[in-house]
Structure 1
Amino acid sequence: MTADALDTVAAPPVRKPLGAKGWLIIGICLFGISTGPAAFGLASLGLVINAFQDQFGWSRSEVSGAASLMMLCTALSLPLVGGLVDKFGARRVLIPSVIALGLCLLAIPLVVTKAWQFMAAYVLMGTLAAGANSVPYMRILASWFDRSRGLAIGIAGSGTGLGFAYVPLVGQAAIHQFGWKGCYVALALIMLCVTLPMVLFLLKEKTEGEAPIDSDTPTAEANPAESQGDTLKGAMAKRDFWVLASIFVGLAFVLYGLIPHMVPLLTDRGLTPEAAASMASLFGFATFGGRVLIGFLIDRFDARKIAVIFFGLSALGMGLLAVPLPTWALIVPALLLGGSLGAEVDMLAYLTSRYFGLKAFARIFGVLFSAVMVAMGLGPVAFGGVYDATGSYQVMLAIGAPVCIVAALLMLVLRPYGERKRGAAISIT
């Protein structure tokens, strides 16, 4: 095979403007992800923990334990979700999952009076509604975008940050008017009256013969190496798979363990509930902006180096939160942690598509994401358990900074994904 032929096969397609169609897909995925179990299930907990303590006498570890159960159930469900997405398509998984999540949220204020009932509702979110997580959205984005995939995933993936930004504001406003039950009713209405119609009527999947939106190539075979890719078994046989799993499991444990405890942590530091909710909202807006920035950068620079920088910011944010700061200065770690939070799940989706291709993307990403969800599930209960035992979050915050540093160092163990792409192109020629 000649060098010219190799260049013809391996060369990426030409980037072109995304157009109205591209931005519509990104926008729907952005909002859909913002209403997923991660944002609605986790960000709402910080708003109701104190109310549950006052009304029902539940401990913080009991309330955060519901989130842990949801995450662990989601972790068990995601490999199945990924397989269903690869086999039947993303929309056929998304639609029933969105309905299930809306009904679970609505059931909490209507039915729940005991801790086990609250936990049961979150278990149902982690099983019946597992398909409302980012896996189906990421599959749609990875297939529609190639040259601008990082930006598309970054913008849409920032939906989690958007959810973390507006859930405290919407939830606190509903609580102020109707009590804690109003928070869950408001979130359920958003799911059923906004997200569901968007997915049902506006979200379109790419068919096998269509080219990516951002490519001038007339067929979908512009990058055959990536469109074929690895099977799940083939991916799991590679070192890169396990390095990625190790990196993002550690990050998820400390970063997502902190999220449901952000508001009570800030009130413990002297902020009013309203001020703490506003700070949590700022954290969410920083996550939103950080994910868009990261998506822009990884389309143009080595994603591994970008990750090292942002994981370092996470370590700095954790370190600052572990030391005594005046209340006004708490904005700094909130911005650092929020801005760097986009360097985990979105980066995982992007690197999964680049290292292992699109053939079994949803299945591979589902397995990796399920491992991350286990860590997301254990993190909140670990933070809650440490608080109940010691009266503070200091121990977990002190652990968080070194974990982020180790994650940054492990990124340097990954080989450049460009090498995999060229090697795959040679192997199928």
Structure 2
Amino acid sequence: MKKQSSSKLYYGWVVVAIVFLTLLVSAAISSVPSVLMQPLEKEFGWDRGAVSGAVSIRILLYGLMGPFSAAIMARFGIRRIMVFSMILLIISLSLTPLMTAIWQMVLLWGVLVGIGTGSLANVLGVTIANRWFVKYKGLVIGMLTASAATGQLLFLPLLAKITSDIGWRSAVYAVVAVLVLLIPIVSIWMRNHPYDVGSAPLGTSEVVKPAPFIGNLFLSPILALSSAAKSLTFWLLAGTFFLCGFSTNGLIGTHLIPACGDFAIPIVTAAGLLSLMGLFDLIGTTLSGWLSDRFDSRWLLFWYYGLRGLSLIYLPQALGMGYTQLTIFAVFYGLDWIATVPPTAKLTSDTFGKEKAGMIFGWIVVAHQAGASVAAYGAGVMRDILGSYTVPFVIAGFVCLFASLMAIRIRSRASQVKVQGV
């Protein structure tokens, strides 16, 4: 060990900026299907349930990649995995405009995009926060989580406009161009660990070489899950996160634009609503990270899930009443869209330790994406059967109220027992 060298700018903030930008683009890719759903229906005659099925596979794989990507990043380095994932995304997106059958949509957007974006998931942000920061860890997690909202803020209206004016294929190629520009930034300036720049995690003074990854890339995440599964806290965190995914990207992120289309709201206007949510979620999630450094994360989750549930119950009325009411929903819902991530990640780190936090949080994200996958597919099927999204929106509202009650059952930090082994 050696003392940290002095520097005006802590390099960890450069790493945060690069990862923020990468997650921002990944979020933009994840939001593309909501813009493409109606054009694909019109051009190919694919029903909403079939397109939603491809999206649900992507969402599920996005989650399943989490714990394994944490182990792979520990073994091969964060920078290398980021570059590989972006190359995979470029290939799959470049082939998308050539597809003519629904199985190709499933392969390209369900499987390949699912793997690519899953390697650039929330686990990446948690890994960066744990490696580079002791001080401001919650704030950093909040900032990196908020990148998903910012991705929608920047890209959704633009992609909707390109789709409306030029066509959906041009919108896909626009995302490919952004990925091509991002690869050299990651390749040149990204670093894997503070030790690479002779630094210590912010909040400490000792520069320590990272321990080499020990264990099997695929077995270690399984062992981490087996160990964590003995803790009630893990199941409560996973359960609330399942309901979180059910009520956010799986439902609203996938189906709000098509739901607006059912009320003759133009696609660009609907994308603007999601963009507005992104703006307020950027504020809310960053603030949530700051709050999680100062207050009991269990009660933060109680309020976040409760308020989200009320807003979703209100949504069917807002859709029928007009743009002003939808704007109120967008602001209210947007403030805590993914504000649940920083307190959930913090509880995970506090309970299981930062060494295991990446893989275990990855499994909790699997639960989140499983919930999102169920909502993405289920809401599409229910809309085909019932002719509207009212029932799935109201169901999501009530499950959020249930999640708020689950959150306060999580044991406080003082009573948590660290899981040993693995």
Secondary structure, aligned partner of 2:321: coil
1:394-429 deviation line (CA, Å, top 9, x unaligned)? 111110111111111111111122444xx669x99x
Between stretches 131-140 and 156-165, larger displacement belongs to 131-140
Name the CA shift for 1:128/1:34 in 2 (closer, same or farther; >3 Å): closer
**What is the aligned partner in structure 2 of residue 314 from structure 1?**
308
Deviation at 1:334, TM superposition (A): 1.3
Deviation at 1:235, TM superposition (A): 2.1
Secondary structure, aligned partner of 2:206: coil
Pairs within 5 Å for 1:167-182? 167-182=155-170
Assess if the C-alpha contact under 8 Å between 2:352 and 2:418 holds in 1: no
Mapped to 2, the partners of 1:138 and 1:65 lie a distance apart of 29
Mapped to 2, the partners of 1:190 and 1:133 lie a distance apart of 18
Amino acid at match of 1:235: A
Q: Which of 95, 109, 119 is 2:106 aligned to?
A: 119
Mapped to 1, the partners of 2:28 and 2:232 lie a distance apart of 31
Assess if the C-alpha contact under 8 Å between 1:94 and 1:136 holds in 2: no
Deviation at 1:70, TM superposition (A): 0.9
TM-score normalized by the length of structure 2: 0.87
Assess if the C-alpha contact under 8 Å between 1:311 and 1:343 holds in 2: no
Q: Which runs of 5+ in 1 are unaligned?
A: 1-16, 222-229
1:366 and 2:362 matched: yes
1:243 and 2:236 matched: yes
**What is the aligned partner in structure 2 of residue 26 from structure 1?**
16
Deviation at 1:131, TM superposition (A): 1.2
Q: Which of 59, 82, 103 is 1:71 aligned to?
A: 59
1:134-164 deviation line (CA, Å, top 9, x unaligned)? 3233212221112211100101110110112
Mapped to 1, the partners of 2:184 and 2:350 lie a distance apart of 32
Mapped to 2, the partners of 1:337 and 1:185 lie a distance apart of 31
Mapped to 2, the partners of 1:21 and 1:207 lie a distance apart of 8
**What is the aligned partner in structure 1 of residue 285 from structure 2?**
291
1:254 and 2:254 matched: no
Assess if the C-alpha contact under 8 Å between 1:231 and 1:360 holds in 2: yes
Q: Percent identity?
A: 26
TM-score normalized by the length of structure 1: 0.86
Name the CA shift for 1:219/1:307 in 2 (closer, same or farther; >3 Å): same
1:53 and 2:41 matched: yes
Mapped to 1, the partners of 2:114 and 2:59 lie a distance apart of 6
**What is the aligned partner in structure 1 of residue 217 from structure 2?**
none
1:289-337 deviation line (CA, Å, top 9, x unaligned)? 2111111111111122222222122112101103243331111111222
Q: Which runs of 5+ in 2 are unaligned?
A: 1-6, 210-222
Assess if the C-alpha contact under 8 Å between 1:252 and 1:344 holds in 2: no
Q: Which of 19, 29, 34 is 1:40 aligned to?
A: 29
Amino acid at match of 1:377: S
Aligned length in residues: 398
Deviation at 1:236, TM superposition (A): 2.2
Mapped to 1, the partners of 2:283 and 2:184 lie a distance apart of 26
Assess if the C-alpha contact under 8 Å between 2:195 and 2:207 holds in 1: no
Between stretches 300-309 and 238-247, larger displacement belongs to 300-309
Amino acid at match of 1:205: N
Q: Which of 67, 84, 94 is 1:96 aligned to?
A: 84
Assess if the C-alpha contact under 8 Å between 1:64 and 1:381 holds in 2: yes
CA-based RMSD of the aligned residues comes to 2.6
Mapped to 1, the partners of 2:188 and 2:291 lie a distance apart of 32
Deviation at 1:181, TM superposition (A): 0.4
1:28-85 deviation line (CA, Å, top 9, x unaligned)? 121111122x5412x2122122211111111111222111011223333333222212
Name the CA shift for 1:164/1:129 in 2 (closer, same or farther; >3 Å): closer
Deviation at 1:26, TM superposition (A): 1.9
Name the CA shift for 1:332/1:130 in 2 (closer, same or farther; >3 Å): same
Amino acid at match of 2:21: F
Deviation at 1:167, TM superposition (A): 2.2
1:346-374 deviation line (CA, Å, top 9, x unaligned)? 43333222221122222212222122222
Between stretches 93-102 and 385-394, larger displacement belongs to 93-102
**What is the aligned partner in structure 2 of residue 395 from structure 1?**
391
Assess if the C-alpha contact under 8 Å between 2:304 and 2:340 holds in 1: no
Secondary structure, aligned partner of 1:121: helix
Name the CA shift for 1:410/1:366 in 2 (closer, same or farther; >3 Å): same
**What is the aligned partner in structure 1 of residue 185 from structure 2?**
198
Q: Which of 164, 173, 182 is 1:185 aligned to?
A: 173
Mapped to 2, the partners of 1:217 and 1:308 lie a distance apart of 36
Between stretches 406-415 and 317-326, larger displacement belongs to 317-326
Assess if the C-alpha contact under 8 Å between 1:138 and 1:153 holds in 2: yes
Mapped to 2, the partners of 1:218 and 1:333 lie a distance apart of 47
**What is the aligned partner in structure 1 of residue 333 from structure 2?**
337
Assess if the C-alpha contact under 8 Å between 1:352 and 1:361 holds in 2: yes
Deviation at 1:20, TM superposition (A): 4.7
**What is the aligned partner in structure 2 of residue 14 from structure 1?**
none
Pairs within 5 Å for 1:349-364? 349-364=345-360
1:136 and 2:132 matched: no
Assess if the C-alpha contact under 8 Å between 1:73 and 1:127 holds in 2: yes
